[in-house]
Structure 1
Amino acid sequence: MPTDIEIARQATLMPIAEVAGHAGVPEAALIPYGRYKAKIDVGLLPTKPRGKLILVTAISPTPAGEDKTTTSVGLSDALHRIGRKTLLCLREPSLGPCFGVKGGGAGGGRSQVMPMDEINLHFTGDFHAITSAHNLLSAMLDNHIYWGNTLEIDLRRVTWRRVLDMNDRALRQIVGPLGGVSNGFPRESGFDITVASEIMAILCLAADLADLQQRLGDIIVGYRRDRTPVFCRDIKADRAMTVLLKDAILPNLVQTLENNPALLHGGPFANIAHGCNSLIATRTALALADYVVTEAGFGADLGAEKFMDIKCRMGGLAPAAVVLVATVRALKMHGGVAKKDLSAANPDAVRAGAVNLRRHIENVQKFGLTPTIAINHFDTDTDEELAVIQEMAGQFGADAVICRHWAEGSAGAEELARIVAQKADADAPDFRLLYPDDMKLAAKIETVATEIYRAGSVAITEPVRRQLQQWEEMGYGQFPVCMAKTQYSFSTDPGATGAPVGHEIAVREVRLSAGAGFVVAICGEIMTMPGLPRVPSAESIHLDENGQIEGLF
């Protein structure tokens, strides 16, 4: 089997105008960015939703790989294959993981979105625009302080940090400005990765440009000496930031290897942000297609929970069906097998690791939905191991389908498509959220920790509780919570695989995203600025003698 990039180079792509035509996007609404990608002027499209929303999520990720994006692409292509008009909605990849350890985010094998090298690098510049808008606010904030600080901002209580779309641990905590009077007043600060920026979350949750500017103005950048908040609009940065984001807010249209349409827009991580593509792209797709396939980042305990409790809550959405991706390899790791031993058949380890699958099924059921299990097939899988997953899924009340879309494209996911379409077409599920709007913020955090992570206790320090109470008094108590936690475990210990119970979830910090509309609870040792691994992928990325990119995937 050729590599992902070799398959991509052999693809015959369709001009983006033809892809748009198949998707129902008129020429007047298309803004081409070269031959094979474009932005869409959503103001020239229908707005009434008609489609069924299908969420793709996964078990807890492992180094063995689950390929949730690959499955999303394969399912979307397979729905087209059985005659269902479908639009795929994915997030845009971040440069950080591409040059770090995770790799690209355009799918794999014969289930990819194209042009995959451009998608994984600069694409249409959305992330650069978000980075620029975020750091414009940072610059204007420091400039206001330099020129007299008429807002009386307490330098000890500036909460707005800077961002960069790269893994760079050296920037997590910094001191600046240094260099004397002409450079400003020294203070502690730091950088987050762009996907953790509140601007990213705002872009992905805004309804339109007017709502975007309103939300940008609502950002809290710090507090005065009397503890009253200072907003972005007080710094008078919101309008200029909107100008920088006027193109970035438009969804991006690309195609799969099988020339089916896909919208890629926004890219918040699910371990430190809300992990979903933009609400604008999803609503656009629902107005154009009969079925919309989207994904939520990492495992269902993170991405799916946030998809339901944040995106669906804010956007008035309700999924008609859920697909939960699992692999034999990943379940063997959850059953205690080391990565180097995964090629050896071990049905007992699959059975032991299925506790993770069961936990995710149960968690999805808490929202009134029972997922269909997509077993993403690898060549090393044995019939006995596959049968164990199907048996265990059946015991947990879910259908499990063996999928070969990585090797076969849409043909390999046809059975999955038929089952999912049938479920989506059935009576609407009894969809429900995990907690009500009027629950106290601390109780919302405790609910997610105990109901989804199965924690035995939740350690929220007294200063954090006082901070949450203060935000409630300021009128933010109705906000949902966005948990920042390791993706590798239900606990805050990334090494605790399987389905741990009774552990403690320690909330070390909370951040108010007043513009995005949620409260971030930072748990355990999770970082909002990742670092590079000992041997980063960047060491292998290069141009060959023909000017083609090698080592990126």
Structure 2
Amino acid sequence: MKKDIEIAREAQIKDIDEIAHFLNIEKYEKYGNYKAKIDLSYSENQNKDSKLVLVTAISPTPYGEGKTTMNIALSMGLNKLGKKAISALREPSLGPSFGIKGGACGAGYSQVIPMEDINLHFTGDFHAITSAVNLVAAMIDNHIYQGNEKNIDLSNILWKRCVDLNDRALREVVVGLGKKTNGIARQDGYDITVATEMMAVFCLSNNLNDFREKVSRMIVAYDYDNNPVTVDDIKATGPVVVLMKDALKPNLVQTLENTPAIIHGGPFANIAHGCNSIIATKTALALSEYTVTEAGFGADLGAEKFYDIKCRKASIKPNITVIVASVRALKYHGGVSLEDINCENLEGLKSGFKNLKVHLENLKKFSNNVVVAINKFDQDTKAELSLLKELVNNLGIEAFECDVYHKGSEGCLDICKYIIEKSNKDNDFKLLYDESLSIKEKIDVICKEIYRANGVKYAKKALDEIERIENLNSDKLPVCIAKTQYSFSDDPKNLNPESEYEITINDIRLNQGAGFIVAITQNIMTMPGLGKKPAAYEIDIDENGNIVGLF
């Protein structure tokens, strides 16, 4: 089969004017021939009949489960069945693109295009966010240099600079070295752009005014009396909004089959809340009959945060949740070695099914309408596929084989028909916890109900921060837990969800602007590093001017 990039370059891509016309969009700005920014006014329109489909997945493995590929295929399949559907996705970060993952635009015959543009810079949204974060950082240091009117405690500055790349050398830095005019010397650090609170605010704002309000409330530091100092206190709200005014408009592109796709925002789900922007989702719902969106990594992280944070903030409810699984990924969770993963192994599949089983049990705590999409690969045997469907059916849930890599929309029409039928039935959607609970109670609910932990342990730093947040009366917010994506536990090597373990909370952060509290488990860093052989080694431009190695 051809490489992803070859398939993408051979696609019959339409001018973005045609895609906009299909959606009856009149207010938009073109970024070249194949990308556009949609006016913010469309997100304010309500289409009560529009259905929201959430795509999530089992815990990730080295292979990838094909969640984005499935999302794209489902939107194309729904369109093929006569429904006006939109794929709503996150924007790829340059960190994974040059790090370990590579591009994030789907695969095979289920891709969004133009994939080179989407994976590299796109419409500049992440650069705007990076600039906004670093502007605030510059204004903090200038405020201190110019007399420190707000009495900011230099040892209690929370705000970090950022860059949208994996760069471990920037995790801890010292700024202001050299002569006096270079500023005040202090310890600082960098986050990756997608882990910043600015990204969270960007994705959880309902409109421009809401964005302004959230930006103004973000805490950048504490003063010597332990009072919070906000973005508004250092007079940075206005310039941040100006920098972000165009970035807030959602981006319109298309799939290989010319189905509309809205791609906007991109927080990671292991260190952030893992969902595309509320503005993008609401715009898609206003313009379509079906919006197919996704949540990052496995359902224990992305789906839980989609429900408990995004749905809560946006006042939206999914009509159905699709969880993506593959035979080879479940065999990996069952202890089958990478060398033997392509060989039939029914016992390994049975053992690994525990991962999917726990995810399904968790999803049922939120909603009635759940279905499994089996992402089919060439090496899957009939016996393995039959066994997997049987195991799922025994839980009272439907499972469908989907060959979307080879066939695009044609490979998922059966599950699309099921989605249409099931999404018209009551989902009985509910949230996992009441945000009025204490911080510890909320963390306890998530860790025990979703991660299946026996209990929770707290480092002193986390306990001190909980006390400070409670004293600020800012504790009645949902919780976003930063945890490894590879395991239900906080140990990435523990692939057995039925083992006994406790979750350790090392730190707590108040994202007052975004409106949630971050609980950071052990071994989680908000600035990743590059691996021994990063994807960047293979990325180049050939003699014909084509990008190679990114996909």
The alignment's C-alpha RMSD in Å is: 1.1
Give the aligned residue type for 2:477.
F
Q: Is the 8 A contact 1:49 1:283 kept in 2?
A: no
Deviations 1:157-179 (A, max 9, x none): 00001110000111111122211
Q: What's the counterpart of residue 489 of structure 1?
A: 487
Q: What's the counterpart of residue 2 of structure 1?
A: 2
Equivalent position to 1:544, from 538, 542, 549: 542
The count of residues paired between Structure 1 and Structure 2 equals 550
Compute the displacement of 1:189 (Å).
1.6
Compute the displacement of 1:45 (Å).
6.7
Aligned pairs for 1:233-312 within 5 A: 233-312=232-311
Q: Secondary structure at the match of 1:356?
A: helix
Q: What's the counterpart of residue 223 of structure 2?
A: 224
Q: What's the counterpart of residue 378 of structure 2?
A: 379
Change (3 A) 1:170 1:480: same
Deviations 1:68-104 (A, max 9, x none): 0000000110001111111110000000000001111
Q: What's the counterpart of residue 210 of structure 1?
A: 209
Equivalent position to 1:478, from 476, 479, 484: 476
- Between 214-223 and 35-44, the greater mean CA deviation after superposition: 35-44
Q: Is the 8 A contact 1:17 1:30 kept in 2?
A: no
Q: Is the 8 A contact 1:509 1:521 kept in 2?
A: yes
Q: What's the counterpart of residue 33 of structure 2?
A: 35
Q: Secondary structure at the match of 1:234?
A: coil
Residues in 2 aligned to 1:314 and 1:380: alpha-carbon distance in whole angstroms: 42
Compute the displacement of 1:499 (Å).
1.7
1:84 aligns with 2:83: yes
Q: What's the counterpart of residue 520 of structure 1?
A: 518
Q: What's the counterpart of residue 432 of structure 2?
A: 434
Residues in 2 aligned to 1:438 and 1:204: alpha-carbon distance in whole angstroms: 23
Change (3 A) 1:501 1:49: farther
- Between 449-458 and 171-180, the greater mean CA deviation after superposition: 171-180
Give the aligned residue type for 1:144.
H
Q: What's the counterpart of residue 66 of structure 2?
A: 67
Q: Secondary structure at the match of 1:284?
A: helix
Deviations 1:455-496 (A, max 9, x none): 112011344223213212312122100010000000111111
Deviations 1:187-217 (A, max 9, x none): 2221110000111110101111111111111
Deviations 1:328-366 (A, max 9, x none): 110010010122221111121111100000000001011
Residues in 2 aligned to 1:134 and 1:362: alpha-carbon distance in whole angstroms: 39
Compute the displacement of 1:453 (Å).
0.3
Compute the displacement of 1:527 (Å).
1.1
Change (3 A) 1:272 1:45: closer
Compute the displacement of 1:269 (Å).
0.4
Q: Is the 8 A contact 2:43 2:279 kept in 1?
A: no
Deviations 1:386-428 (A, max 9, x none): 11110111122211100011100100010110111111012x2
Residues in 1 aligned to 2:520 and 2:498: alpha-carbon distance in whole angstroms: 20
Give the aligned residue type for 2:502.
E
Residues in 2 aligned to 1:504 and 1:393: alpha-carbon distance in whole angstroms: 28
Q: What's the counterpart of residue 175 of structure 1?
A: 174
Change (3 A) 1:182 1:45: closer
Give the aligned residue type for 1:452.
I
Give the aligned residue type for 1:166.
L
Q: What's the counterpart of residue 113 of structure 1?
A: 112
Give the aligned residue type for 2:315.
G
Q: Secondary structure at the match of 1:539?
A: helix
Give the aligned residue type for 2:11.
A
Q: Is the 8 A contact 1:46 1:288 kept in 2?
A: no
Give the aligned residue type for 2:388.
I
Residues in 1 aligned to 2:461 and 2:175: alpha-carbon distance in whole angstroms: 26
Compute the displacement of 1:370 (Å).
4.2
Residues in 2 aligned to 1:45 and 1:380: alpha-carbon distance in whole angstroms: 43
Compute the displacement of 1:46 (Å).
6.2
Any stretches of 5+ residues in structure 1 without a counterpart? Answer: none
Deviations 1:270-323 (A, max 9, x none): 000000000001111111111110000000000000000000011111110000
Q: Secondary structure at the match of 2:412?
A: helix
Q: What's the counterpart of residue 16 of structure 1?
A: 16
Give the aligned residue type for 2:265.
G
Residues in 2 aligned to 1:49 and 1:138: alpha-carbon distance in whole angstroms: 40
Q: Secondary structure at the match of 1:12?
A: coil
Residues in 2 aligned to 1:461 and 1:409: alpha-carbon distance in whole angstroms: 48
Residues in 2 aligned to 1:104 and 1:498: alpha-carbon distance in whole angstroms: 29
Deviations 1:2-60 (A, max 9, x none): 0100100111101101001112212xx11100000100002257611331111000000
- Between 478-487 and 42-51, the greater mean CA deviation after superposition: 42-51
Residues in 2 aligned to 1:323 and 1:183: alpha-carbon distance in whole angstroms: 53
1:99 aligns with 2:94: no
- Between 123-132 and 415-424, the greater mean CA deviation after superposition: 415-424
Any stretches of 5+ residues in structure 2 without a counterpart? Answer: none
Compute the displacement of 1:369 (Å).
2.9
Poorly superposed stretches of 4+, deviation over 6 Å: none
Change (3 A) 1:59 1:44: closer
